[in-house]
Amino acid sequence: MALFPNSFLLLLYQVALGGLFALAATPFHELERGFYKSTAGVLFVLALLELFGKLDLYRRSLPAAWGLGSVTETALHILFVLFFGLYLFSLWGERGLFRARTFTLSLFLGLLGLAASARHFYQAPLLSFETLLYPLSFFLSALLLGSVTVGMLIGHWYLIDTGQSIEPFVRIFKFFVVTLVIQTLFLLIMPLFLYLAGSPETVSSLERLWEDHAILISMRFLVAQAAALVLSVLIWQTLKIPHTMAATGLFYIALLGVFVGELLGRQILALTALPF
């Protein structure tokens, strides 16, 4: 299946999956159910759009392209959306055990689907560094996209529930910062591992990246990593006041930066098959 559409559909899947992990980092008993309904609803729509796009790619492709890996990936994405939908449905009821199980299964199936998606983007053997680094890179991007999205949405919730404790906002902010720092460090050292231990195809792609797309990779780091790190300092200073409205505005700017940077990363993925 084509790299370009798959690369950008992957972004929708990562936001939905990462958003679920970000929700898991929030204190469930300190926020109104309405926050989880609205936030999970937004994330579910993104997951559904990704699935429709994936199925449309299959419809347009030749049956010869429907290999076992592609079929397995799509099946996992379908199951992810199914259990995500069941979790969303459970938010309108009081069956806590059912809600917990569907939420956990959504996370588990989402991770399996992400790992299956990563296999499309490299040609190295199954027992290789790529098999570890590609899914890990995709997962860290998912956490970053999900945390900045949920952070922005939780900030908007404070405009509705003005008496809400600042602790849930601080917790999701810390989740975002930790993810951002870990992803930044990972992206800095990953090229070295791929160059030293990657397949010949991966090494060739790295050389092509430096030669042909140096500006693209530089912009990706500047917008999604450096700018977001600076904004995280400003958000923290604002939360210490505390001023949730200003922090939400800064989170929105951070969201724009992260999304633009990750879109540039998907462009790099489509051009070079490298997980930046």
Identify the pLDDT of residue 262.
94
Going from the N-terminus, what domains does the chain have, and what CATH number goes with each?
3-272 (1.20.1630)
Q: Can you give the pTM of this predicted structure? A: 0.92
**Mean pLDDT across the stretch 56-85?**
80
What is the SS3 string spanning the chain? CCHHHHHHHHHHHHHHHHHHHHHHCCCCCCCCHHHHHHHHHHHHHHHHHHHHHHHHHHHHCCHHHCCHHHHHHHHHHHHHHHHHHHHHHHCCCCCHHHHHHHHHHHHHHHHHHHHHHHHHHCCCCCCCHHHHHHHHHHHHHHHHHHHHHHHHHHHHHHHHCCCCCCHHHHHHHHHHHHHHHHHHHHHHHHHHHHHHHCCHHHHHHHHHHHHHCHHHHHHHHHHHHHHHHHHHHHHHHHHCCCCHHHHHHHHHHHHHHHHHHHHHHHHHHHHHCCCC
At residue 62 the predicted structure's pLDDT band, cuts being 50, 70 and 90, is: low
Q: Across residues 135-162, what is the average pLDDT?
A: 90
Give the pLDDT of residue 194.
84
pLDDT digits (tens, 9 = 90+) for 84-118: 999 999 999 888 899 999 999 999 999 999 998 88
Mean predicted confidence (pLDDT) in 172-200: 90
Model confidence over 109-142: pLDDT tens digits?
999 999 988 877 877 666 677 788 889 999 999 9
Confidence of residue 34 (pLDDT cuts 50, 70, 90): confident
Query: pLDDT by residue (tens digit) across 4-24?
Result: 788 888 999 999 999 999 999
Mean pLDDT of 192-196: 84
